[in-house]
Amino acid sequence: MKKDQIPQDDANLLEGKTRDLCYAVDENGNYITGLSTGWDPKNAALQHALDFFNERAEKVKEKVIKGKLSPLAYFMEARYMDAALLADYMELSKRVVKRHMKPKFFNKLEDDVLKEYAEILRIEFSDLKDFPTS
């Protein structure tokens, strides 16, 4: 592929935050690198994955509203995290994070712990503590 053929099909899925490094050939036949904003097949696959994860987050949100899970479970899902990853960031065991996903344990958490969760999840403390239940 020549440098001017590097795909630039930006679907703005990640708000222009990522670019792919591609190899191309310049006018002298030498390999060079160039940045691609995306290409249609990759964009379609990425959109499918994002839709899948957004649907999962909405299902978890419904469970939070019904009182079956804590708000932590929703924000974790919305940030594409699992209990193991969040536990690593929090320096807690996965078992403890899973326990915090249950309303009975979440409601007993100290504000300092909730603030740390909020910081890691990049949300406001009040969003985590005062999650709407309707």
Average pLDDT score over residue span 100-116: 97
pTM score of the predicted model: 0.78
Tokens of 62: 């419904």
pLDDT digits (tens, 9 = 90+) for 49-86: 999 999 999 999 999 999 999 999 999 999 999 999 99
Q: What domains are there in the chain, each with its CATH number?
A: 3-38 (no CATH), 51-129 (1.10.260.40)
Q: Which residues does 12 contact at the CB level (< 8 Å), separation at least 6?
A: none
User: What's the rounded Cα separation, in Å, for the pair 115 and 20?
Assistant: 35
